[in-house]
Each structure stands twice: as C-alpha cells, then as structure tokens.
Amino acid sequence: MRIAFYAPMKSPHHPNQSGDRQIARLFLQALRAAGHRVDLASRFRSRDGGGQRRRQERIAHIGQRLVERILRRYRNQPAHCRPEIWFTYHVYHKAPDWLGPPVAKALGIPYVIAEASFAPKQAAGPWRTGHAASREAIAFARAVFNLNPGDVAGVKPLVSDPRRLVALQPFIDVAQFTDPSAAGGVSRRMLAERYSLPVDETWLIAVAMMRVGNKRDSYRVLSEALTLLEARPWRLIIVGDGPVRGEVEGMFAHFAPGRVSFAGMLASDAVRALLLHSDLFVWPGVREPIGMAMLEAQAAGVPVVTGRNPGIAEIVRDGCSGRLVPRGDARAFASAVEGLMDAPLERAAMGARARAGAAARHDIATAGATLDSVLGALVAGTWP
C-alpha cells in the first residue's frame, strides 16, 4: 500500500530529539515493516507554541500554498505511484493539519490520524484557529489511532462512528532492549568506570529532555524526592539535555559530588547499555502524556517509579512492572523509590514482568499488524 505520511508538530527528520519525533519515526518504521511504501509528504511544521493569531494565520496560508504544490506533485505521478492513504501523526490545537484533509479530499483517498487530542476549552482561546482546524481534521478522519486514553473523551464526540477510534498501545522495537547484545558488550563495571559509579550501589536512571514546562517540573520533583533519601546508597544517572540544563543542574547541585551524573545526550546504543545495567528508572512524569523512555526502560527489564497519569498507566502497571504515585508528590515518590531499593528480589521480579509485558503488548510488530489491518480495510472499502 502507498501511504503519504505527515507529522505537523515535528518532522521525523527534525534535528532536535524529542518523544514526538521518536514516535513519528516508530510509525514510519512500523508501516514500512508491514510492507507499505511510505512517502514523507512534507516537512512543514505547523506548530505555534505562543498562541499568536497572526502567526497561526500565516502558517495556515503557507499550508494552503503547500497543498497546491503537493497535489501537483502527486498528480504528475503515474496513477499507480500516487498515495492510497494519507496518514498524519499527532494533531492538536497547537499543531493542526493544514495539509492532509484537503489533499486526501482532492485525491479521493482515506485520511487517517494517529494520536489526536481535542480540548473544547481552547475554542475561544489564543489557539482557536488551530483548534477549529483540528476539529475539522478529526471529524474528517476515517480512522483515528489513539495512543493516550486521556484523549478519548475529547476526540470521541468528533468521530462519526465510534468504531473509527482505534486503541493502539504505545510501541517500540522491543528486541533492541531485550537482547543482551543491545548493550554492545558494555558491562556494568565498564559503565561504573566511565561514569565514576560504585558497582555495588543502587543505580537510578532518568532519561528526559531538559525543557521548560512538564520536563522541568519533573526534574524538580525528582530532586526533592531524592533529597529525602540522601542518607541512602544510590547514584543517579541523568541522560538528556536541553535549553534549561543549567537550571536542572542547579536543582541537583546540593547533592554530594558524584551522587548525580549528567551524561548529556547519548546515542541510542549508549542509552540502551545504561538501561540494561541500571536498577531503577525514576521519573515523576508531571503531566506526562505517554512516556516512551519508561517503555524502553521496561523493555530492558528495569522497573519504573513514576507519577500516575492515564497514558503512563497504560505502560507502567502499578505493583507489577513498577510503582505509580500521585503526580507531583515528592514524598510519595521517595517512599516508592526507597521501598524498591530495599527489596532487590521484588525489583528483579518487577523487571522480569516489565520486560515480558513490553514484549507482549508494546512491540512494534503488534502495532504494525493493527495498523495494517485497519488501513487494509480502509482501502478495501470495508471499514466503518
């Protein structure tokens, strides 16, 4: 099947790493692994983070001009080379899809969205232009793949048939984390030397960008929680970077030298090696929608302590593969971390269940099969 793929918030080829870019790439990988020919329709970024009406109008105008260009490109191709489906990843009021609906309508092909969110309260807010466009796109979609259960309430009233809203578990290529060779031959002792870590202490790990908003708030809660555990034998490795790195480093500056290691941005194989040899993944997840790094940690057999959010609860099962605590509660977070530090056998059992659960519910092959089934039915005309 020929698929035109588009990610309005951030292209899968965007130079800045993020969870959004990672998920867009995973969708491309899943679709191609299922045997589909996927064309990146555009790298146009429609996101307006500041709620500026004139900027939104300008973005919409650029989008309209790009629609004409995209249509010319596809119409100049032989019929057997044109897309049979338009697939957009991530639509919401700050990043509406100005391209997919008009192109799909002009070509007479199904329009599909993966991950859509809709907040009625934004109708009269600073993003009302993008809000209206997102509402129209979601209503026009023949299928909406939903990754975050927290989005269902807002999206469901917009789809003409509830069967068009398809639940899809967040997914990764689990084999990259479950295979011992994923560590690239790096041992715990080698990592201990590299990051100046005692081999016999508990290694805590956090993997997250350093940005204002949710990420910064989560780092603050993590620092507050670990301050309550200063007397315990642990070391924290932080993987990530971003515009507020200096501020984040300041949050942990009061700890004794060597307690917290800032690894910065690392290549994927280096992150996998750290996950495979860490004891506990710790991330408060303040207002975190999904948490892909937590899924990677679990695939590597590492239990997770995090905040309770609808999307995260789909990944981390409380008492089974980790611990969920009230969002933003540093004391409850510290208690959960301490409990697992003191229970190595329970921690190991949780890690084994986390790895098994990731393989059973969150593997890219499973996601690809769901996508393939729905898209095939759409093209065949048998989908609701």
CATH of the domain at 187: 3.40.50.2000
What's the number of domains the chain is made of? 2
Q: Which residues pair with 207 in a beta bridge?
A: 239
Considering the domain architecture, whether residues 298 and 192 belong to the same structural domain is answered as yes
Instruction: Please check the confidence at residue 176 and state whether its pLDDT lies above 90.
Output: no
Sign of the Cα torsion 348, 353, 354, 356 reads positive
Considering the domain architecture, whether residues 55 and 160 belong to the same structural domain is answered as yes
- State which H helix or E strand residue 281 sits in: strand 280-283
Considering the domain architecture, whether residues 149 and 187 belong to the same structural domain is answered as no
Host domain of residue 326: 175-361
- Find all residues with CB under 8 Å of 253, minimum gap 6, and list them: none
User: How much is the average pLDDT of 349-355?
Assistant: 95
**pLDDT reported for residue 33:** 93
pLDDT tens, position by position, 309-344: 888 888 899 999 999 999 999 999 999 999 999 999
pLDDT tens, position by position, 289-301: 788 899 999 999 9
User: How much is the average pLDDT of 232-251?
Assistant: 96
pLDDT tens, position by position, 213-236: 999 999 999 999 999 999 999 999
Instruction: Please check the confidence at residue 149 and state whether its pLDDT lies above 90.
Output: no
344-361 vs 330-341: helix axis angle to the nearest 10?
Answer: 110
Considering the domain architecture, whether residues 339 and 191 belong to the same structural domain is answered as yes
Considering the domain architecture, whether residues 135 and 82 belong to the same structural domain is answered as yes
Instruction: Please check the confidence at residue 183 and state whether its pLDDT lies above 80.
Output: no
- Cα–Cα distances in Å, from 65 out to 6, 69, 89, 102, 103? 16, 7, 21, 11, 12
Considering the domain architecture, whether residues 139 and 189 belong to the same structural domain is answered as no
The closest alpha carbon to 302, from 283, 321, 323, 324, belongs to 321
Considering the domain architecture, whether residues 15 and 161 belong to the same structural domain is answered as yes
**Contact assessment for residue 205 and residue 304, using Cβ atoms and an 8 Å cutoff:** no
The closest alpha carbon to 278, from 248, 313, 303, 242, belongs to 303
**Contact assessment for residue 315 and residue 294, using Cβ atoms and an 8 Å cutoff:** yes
Query: What are the phi and psi torsion angles at 98 (to 5°)?
Result: -90, -10
Considering the domain architecture, whether residues 195 and 150 belong to the same structural domain is answered as no
Instruction: Please check the confidence at residue 251 and state whether its pLDDT lies above 70.
Output: yes
| Confidence band for 179, pLDDT divided at 50, 70 and 90 | low
The closest alpha carbon to 341, from 182, 203, 174, 164, belongs to 203
**pLDDT reported for residue 352:** 95
Considering the domain architecture, whether residues 152 and 180 belong to the same structural domain is answered as no
**pLDDT reported for residue 268:** 87
Burial bucket for residue 98 (CB in 10 Å: 0-12, 13-18, 19+): buried
Considering the domain architecture, whether residues 232 and 336 belong to the same structural domain is answered as yes
Considering the domain architecture, whether residues 297 and 224 belong to the same structural domain is answered as yes
Q: Which residues pair with 234 in a beta bridge?
A: 202
Considering the domain architecture, whether residues 186 and 166 belong to the same structural domain is answered as no
